[in-house]
Structure 1
């Protein structure tokens, strides 16, 4: 049995968490893969109730689980996910972007993964005031750059795709920091002669994600650039409602939807749970690899193909052109998981 910690979040987070638990319970009951799901508090509500957005007890339980699922949290998001990434050394942020049928994607042949360095760059929060100016420290290290580059190349070797890694940076302007990142990626590329390696400035990459998104396979980049480009790539394939993400370290991983807590639609039962459920698929793949468990892979593939087939048949939530509520769409998924 896998022990899964679940941060239930704020805004639409609790609704999405209910959907996730419903799917995991169905897998428990019908597909012989067992989960013990432990709901946890973190985010705005936790801050209001305990004075800490990320309570110590929540961290303790997460550390003792096999993996963590995190629903969106509110304004305190940085005090939750950024801190967890640092505490658990979740250095690789993985955000796939794939065309699904009958979605408002730019093309129907997009299949890329953005591999984003997760521990450095401006997101360390090292900022201070200096007179009338504000200063932020941008930290890029050789070790972290090579570590994320290696992860990107390993990802490319495992994908049934173009076998290409695109290193995205801005070394023509930030010659020291991005220069080090680009140099580190180039050095790692020499260990993978079977993988095509290219470099691209971040502004050119942002343009080409619109102009020719089908040309990308694996993009590796720094923390800030990866955050921005992954949101863009999600929109290119139809929106954040279908965008999962993983935060992966050497021994632990956390999985979450890319989108935020969407307080404007909270409680209306119209949020699209797909991104969170596809994050469960990523979790199953990770557990399967870590534990050499082929059932995890099989169930993960079944979950993704169920979502794919439903969307293809026109069963969709409002944000992607359908009329199903969150609970109705979830019910369709659980039904198809057990009948297909």
Structure 2
């Protein structure tokens, strides 16, 4: 690839204005140290966009994203948004639907210097990202939630072999790079049509990769097994809602959501996004942990390496990951990890380690 990579930056709500600038500075510092080039472009989403454009996800933002190589999305406070008819669109969900970001990759492993209950856990949850039981992803128009009467409501779930296969293929790709094991979380025992399609499709995809071991567990049994025998798990693939729940569980097992990165990927687009939310209760206090979003940037760099023919991205990603690990191992931590460091101080230390 010739020329700089183009990365959009969407700050979001809550703690977004505090942690997103850290992630951007780390990206630029690691890129420069690795001998690469990235240009960033700031685009409005969230409450700032609502105030200026009348919607939390302007059409101009969506159009501009098409001209980038990927983007960073800060946390968004969707629970506080007005109804969609009044401009309150979920930027995360809109990006996933519009850009067919079918897989949400959420790794979980213990980091040096961070106390955790399950240091032996090292797994990745691949969450199908655009369908399933998240009703706002399931319709061309509207939310997919239907109020039948005041005391009765219906939610539409959508399951297609195409999207299930895409998420499973991503799980297989990761398993090939890791320990070669994929397990599907499902509830085909009680949902034989929808989850049965999940099981049938995942089995068929994995049958094409005999070097990968495939298994399946009921979602509830898998959650229990994660706690009882975490070392057994490598790559877990799951429906949208189930994957969301399981990945929060795995994050909690290795230190908390402040350390939980993710990358939303499709065939031609990728979005770095921390697993955690906008944390309005601590917004503006300067104590948010930027590690999850910073590690999400490292995941974006590795995706660029593979998809954009930019070999320097691997070195840049390694610099980011090493800076986070070394900073935590050195004892500098934000309050969520029992430390006293501010968001800015933690970010400064990450950049210092990358540059020296």
TM-score normalised per structure 1: 0.95
Higher mean C-alpha deviation, range 167-176 or range 206-215: 206-215
Structure 2 match to 1:134: 153
- The equivalent position to 1:214 in structure 2, one of 213, 231, 236, is 231
Deviation at 1:78, TM superposition (A): 6.1
Deviation at 1:29, TM superposition (A): 4.3
In the alignment, the residues of structure 2 paired with residue 301 and residue 30 of structure 1 have an alpha-carbon distance, to the nearest angstrom, of 11
Higher mean C-alpha deviation, range 172-181 or range 106-115: 106-115
In the alignment, the residues of structure 2 paired with residue 185 and residue 105 of structure 1 have an alpha-carbon distance, to the nearest angstrom, of 32
In the alignment, the residues of structure 2 paired with residue 273 and residue 147 of structure 1 have an alpha-carbon distance, to the nearest angstrom, of 30
Whether 1:302 and 2:319 are equivalent positions in the alignment is: yes
Deviation at 1:137, TM superposition (A): 1.6
* Residues 8-27 of structure 1: pairs in structure 2 closer than 5 A: 8-27=11-30
Check the 8 A contact 1:101/1:108 in 2, yes or no: no
SS at match of 2:281: helix
* Residues 9-48 of structure 1: pairs in structure 2 closer than 5 A: 9-48=12-51
In the alignment, the residues of structure 2 paired with residue 163 and residue 115 of structure 1 have an alpha-carbon distance, to the nearest angstrom, of 14
Higher mean C-alpha deviation, range 246-255 or range 16-25: 16-25
Deviation at 1:8, TM superposition (A): 0.6
SS at match of 1:93: strand
Please give the per-residue CA displacement for 1:80-127, whole angstroms capped at 9, x wherever unaligned.
Answer: 111111100100111000111222322222211001111111222312
In the alignment, the residues of structure 2 paired with residue 331 and residue 280 of structure 1 have an alpha-carbon distance, to the nearest angstrom, of 16
Deviation at 1:293, TM superposition (A): 2.0
Deviation at 1:248, TM superposition (A): 0.3
Higher mean C-alpha deviation, range 23-32 or range 249-258: 23-32
SS at match of 1:257: coil
Whether 1:326 and 2:326 are equivalent positions in the alignment is: no
- The equivalent position to 2:61 in structure 1, one of 58, 61, 69, is 58
In the alignment, the residues of structure 2 paired with residue 31 and residue 184 of structure 1 have an alpha-carbon distance, to the nearest angstrom, of 41
Structure 2 match to 1:144: 163
Return closer, same or farther for 1:110/1:190 CA change in 2, 3 Å cut-off: same
Please give the per-residue CA displacement for 1:51-98, whole angstroms capped at 9, x wherever unaligned.
Answer: 211001111111111101001011248621111111001001110001
Q: CA RMSD of the aligned region, Å?
A: 1.4
Check the 8 A contact 1:27/1:34 in 2, yes or no: no
User: Any stretches of 5+ residues in structure 1 without a counterpart?
Assistant: none
